[in-house]
Structure 1
Amino acid sequence: MLVPGSAQVGHRVLALAEGLLVGQVVLEAVGGDGVEQSLEAMSTPPTWPALLRGPACWGDFTVEQAGTGTSVLLPRGRGLGGSSSINAMIFARGHRSSYDAWQVAGWSFDDLLPYFKRTEHAPGRDPALRGVGGPLTVAPADPVNPVLVACLEAALEAGHSRASDVSGGLEERFGPVDLNIVGGRRQSGADAYLAPALGRPNLRVVTGALVHRLRIAGGRCTGVDYSAGGRREFAVCSGEVMPAAGTIGSAQLLMRSGIGPSAHLREHGIDVVADLPGVGENLHDHPVANVVYRSARPIPPGTHNHAEAFGLVRSDPVLDAPDLQLLFIDGPGHVPDAGAGEGYTIGVALMRPFSRGTVRLGSPVPGAPPVLDPGYYSDDRDLAIVVRGLRMAHRIGDARALDSWRDQEMTPRTATLDDDGLRAYARAVLASYCHPVGTCRLGDDDLAVVDRDLRVHGLRGLRVADASVIPAIPSANTNATVYAIAERAAELVTTLVPGA
């Protein structure tokens, strides 16, 4: 039984685990509440920014961040395909170093590579690194917006190198990134994996389903309580229940079910089934600050995802791995606003943040908003790295290759600010790159929630398979990694004895 709850991954596990159970049920939160009105916008790549404040997004905001004094939107998809139906469609593996940093046996970059390859159809690439024949057809934009081509040339002029495949996971440098766009349309996880499985007689997809709690009896998950169509329902499971509601939703569901930090559960009157203090801990994300330019001439309208190229760089040459992504965008801001006038952006995204935060229940009531505190910039080292990234972005933006496009730097006017000024700027413009991870992390220590086979510690018949299990965030957009986790989960549930 899969419990996506509008996550990115549940339907993918289901579609791959064919024949595991006599009956398979997917519970999905989307229903007749306006989400279907977003379907055309979901399919049309350049319109994705509008989805982040519509019914296809849960619309969660963080609490005021102690490091910035601001609260920010932390988008997550609400509908079949989850966040893969509303995101910016970037399909990139993080640099291999960011997976090796997980330090969990069986989950290094080399361990994940077969699953990365299994997800994709990327012909013409290095077959040792990239896959052919997978459900997701991925490729760079063709053509790349000319202002972004100029940004790539400017990066080379500023001393950076060109990557042969910036999406593959082995290279730093700059280049056009792979996108989940096929024939001019978004390809979501639901398009690639769920749609082909809908005719299976052993599959039932229940939409408009609000999951209340997991049922646990004798140390085993036996099913799910949910409501749909105004009725309270219970789905019995003799095999495995697999929450895949994302970094926020899976942690919420476990806690509502009595699985989590005991003191917090008791505060909400929830009986403790399993005292797992790591549930909801380790929340972290890629924060973003932008260097935004007014354009000297009209920028061709974006026809892909607006962000068609990026580079992975080290903020300090002495580092052993890249810790920044510099993203080129054909509009002002990392979520382009068509009403903001002609402009383009070099986004600075912190790839290996030190700061950590939490997801907590706001209420035990199903559907109640969570309390989100990612702790952005709570560790001063993060701000120092972002400041170095802003200066790198300014050097690229000031290169001759952009002379014909550049009118002036609108924000932050980097050349006029010292490091303290740039720190203040980064705090003021804090935004999420929409990649929260970590709240049910892999591992064997006291704060780990799932083991290396994704089974929840201390319970049977229950696994988690989404971005919440990631111990440390990859140095790229997380969608491709979540697909690989789903492929790995599908293999685990078809090769291991259910509930073992």
Structure 2
Amino acid sequence: MSPQRPDVVIVGGGSAGCALAARLTEDPNTHVLLLEAGSATLPEAVSSPPAWPSLAASEAGWGDTTVVQQASGAPVALPRGKGLGGSSAINAMVFARGHHTSYDSWSAHGAKGWTYDDLLPYFQRTETATSGAPGRGTSGPLTVGPVGEPNEILLACLDGAVQTGHRRAVDISGGLEEGFAPVDLNIVAGRRQSAADAYLAPALSRPNLVVVTGATAHRLLFEGTRCVGVEYGVNGLTHTAKTAGEVVLTAGAIGSALLLQRSGIGSEDDLRQAEVNVFHRLPGVGRNLHDHPRANLVYQAQRPVPTPRNNHGEILGLLRSTPDADGPDIQIIFIDIPLPNAVAPVQNGFTIGISPMRPASRGSLRISSADPCAPPVIDPRYFTAEEDVRAVVSGMNTARQIASSGALAPWGIEEISPGLAALDEESLAHHARKYFGSYCHPVGTCLMGEDEVSVVDSELRVHGLEGLRIADGSVIPSIPSNNTNATVYAIAERAADLLRRP
């Protein structure tokens, strides 16, 4: 195959790009070129589940940070993967659908056919779920399931959740339940299974697939309003990839929007500020950026916490911040290490993380110049909506109740951060605003819909242009109420169907 005239050029070799390339090339008559800015060879630590906290600062990550956040007065690290597998190669390996209620708002901007029920066949197509729970996939590329032996401290937290009145869920990953349970993970035989492992590796021997790594996309190429290819750089040399069919962006909520903007597609103000000529006015590009922030309660234990074997966060809960919420809007995740905190170092302990799952805060993303190596301006505006603060405070109170349960008493625990300095609602709110991090789930910068702020239509085609689609987390109009990777895979699976349609 000549890489200059593939049927489809895919930009971004992360979760969506690997899945899409693998599915499209199942047809031997469909020729695909996959471009990835990072490397095909990632650090050995990628394969070791407990090592993931070190990966964002390695060559497997882009090293992005936000601008100074209004809530905290400090920038926030926003890890995303760079290399084949993308963020699935550096994330914490949680594989969970959002609760079905959180997909109801996807139609708010006019997107059609993207309810939870519409996505269910694509969720199932991604997975071989070892739990055997109803509604789960049985023959997909990803082998997913809870770990066989969760850390004892995390099992104690689960017992504490049940003791304090919370439901013990059967399948917290399936999108239908609320409560607490071990979550499905992308860990197979003790090693990480990334998108590159599950989807791409089995497809690499196909003659109709070409993968180019170290390929930084500079801009999209057009003839009239039709996208006909991509200009990209490898080792300082500029190349052009032309397509006989379509270009699909799968560079994620950050990368896809930035490539549009570098190509002159976006808000006139954003483009002119970056000194980029306006090619196609599309004001929604880079808007609607949102993410799950996470606040942490850190505990010291007298009893030794077992050495982590898995991903650190093997058990989580989905619950409602108020009884009248229309679905679960808080996640509580139990983490078997004491994360760095604002109060004091903890040598032996654990963490309870609390994240508002349906945040109302919205931010923006824009290029700072046409240079593809220039850092972007990322502003998620975390915790600027007060309802997000109220939700996380509700979760912190619930987490404290669990920590004070009889199940955790034998561990001799003491809350170090925030500790006794934060006993009332106002103090907890201050702690959440001041000391939070990204849960690394940015979405929404190329939102799907049919109105004037949408970027792609219900078939993932960029409005007003031909031959150009986006199929990654950037199209998500409203973030699902769980970790986002499973949803991104489902979007890519559906995109494969859309592209195969005659």
Structure 1 length-normalised TM: 0.95
Cα distance between partner residues in 1 of 2:28 and 2:283: 32
Distance 1:20 1:259 in 2: 33
CA offset digits 1:212-232 (Å, max 9, x no partner): 000112110000001113321
Partner of 2:475: 469
Letter matched to residue 343 of structure 1: G
Q: Name 1:85's counterpart in structure 2.
A: 89
Aligned to 2:173: 167
1:42-77 Cα deviation digits (max 9, x unpaired): 001110001011111111010001122121100000
* 1:493 equivalent in alignment to 2:493: no
2: distance between equivalents of 1:330 and 1:299? 8
Match in the other structure for 1:412: 418
Q: Which amino acid aligns with 2:50?
A: P
2:36 equivalent to 1:28? yes
Structure 1 residues 284-329: Cα deviation after superposition (integer angstroms, max 9, x where no partner): 0001001111011111111110100000000111112111000011
Alignment of 1:24-103 (within 5 A): 24-31=32-39, 36=41, 38-103=42-107
For 2:155, the equivalent position in structure 1 comes to 149
The question of whether the paired residues in 2 share the 8 Å contact of 1:414 and 1:422 is answered with no
**2:384 aligned with 1:378:** yes
Q: Is the 8 A contact 1:6 1:77 kept in 2?
A: no
Displacement after TM superposition at 1:23 (Å): 3.0
- 2: distance between equivalents of 1:407 and 1:389? 19
5+ long unaligned stretches in structure 2: 1-7
Runs (4+) off by over 4 Å: none
Shift in Å at residue 416 of structure 1?
Answer: 4.8
Structure 1 distance, partners of 2:9, 2:346, is 42
In structure 2, the residue matched to 1:436 is 442
Q: Secondary structure at the match of 2:230?
A: strand
Q: Which amino acid aligns with 1:394?
A: R
- 2:5 equivalent in structure 1: none
Q: Which moved more, 1:379-388 or 1:456-465?
A: 379-388
Whole-angstrom distance in 2 between the partners of 1:324 and 1:421: 19
Q: Identify which range, 164-173 or 202-211, moves more after superposition.
A: 202-211
Equivalence for 1:398: 404
Secondary structure of the 2:21 match is helix
Q: CA RMSD in A?
A: 1.5
Does the Cα contact within 8 Å between 2:71 and 2:434 map onto a contact in 1? no
Contiguous gaps of at least 5 residues in structure 1: none
CA contact (8 A) 1:135 1:192 kept: yes
2:230 alignment partner, one of 214, 224, 235: 224
The 8 Å contact of residues 89 and 180 in structure 1, kept in 2 or not, is answered as yes
Which piece of structure 1 moves more, 151-160 or 262-271? 262-271
- Partner residue, 1:118: 125
Number of equivalent positions: 488
| Farther off after superposition, 94-103 or 111-120 | 94-103
Residue of 286, 289, 297 corresponding to 1:283: 289
Rate the CA distance shift 1:442–1:120 in 2: closer, same or farther, 3 A.
Answer: same
Identity of aligned residues (%): 54
Compute the displacement of 1:334 (Å): 8.8
- Contact 1:333-1:347 within 8 A present in 2 as well: no
How far does the alpha carbon of each residue in 1:241-268 deviate from its partner, in whole angstroms, 9 at most, with x for none? 0011000000000000111112211222
SS of the aligned residue for 1:263 comes to: helix
Alignment equivalent of 2:431, drawn from 407, 425, 429: 425
Q: Do the aligned partners of 2:9 and 2:229 also contact (CA within 8 Å) in 1?
A: no
Supply the AA of the counterpart residue of 2:418.
P
Conserved in 2, the CA contact under 8 Å of 1:332 and 1:343? yes
Query: For the Cα contact (< 8 Å) 1:334–1:347, is it kept in 2?
Result: no
8 Å Cα contact 1:42-1:51 kept in structure 2 = yes
Write out per-residue CA displacement over residues 375-434 of structure 1, whole angstroms, 9 at most, x where no aligned residue: 101111211111111111100111110001133111112685211111111112120000
CA contact (8 A) 2:65 2:75 kept: yes
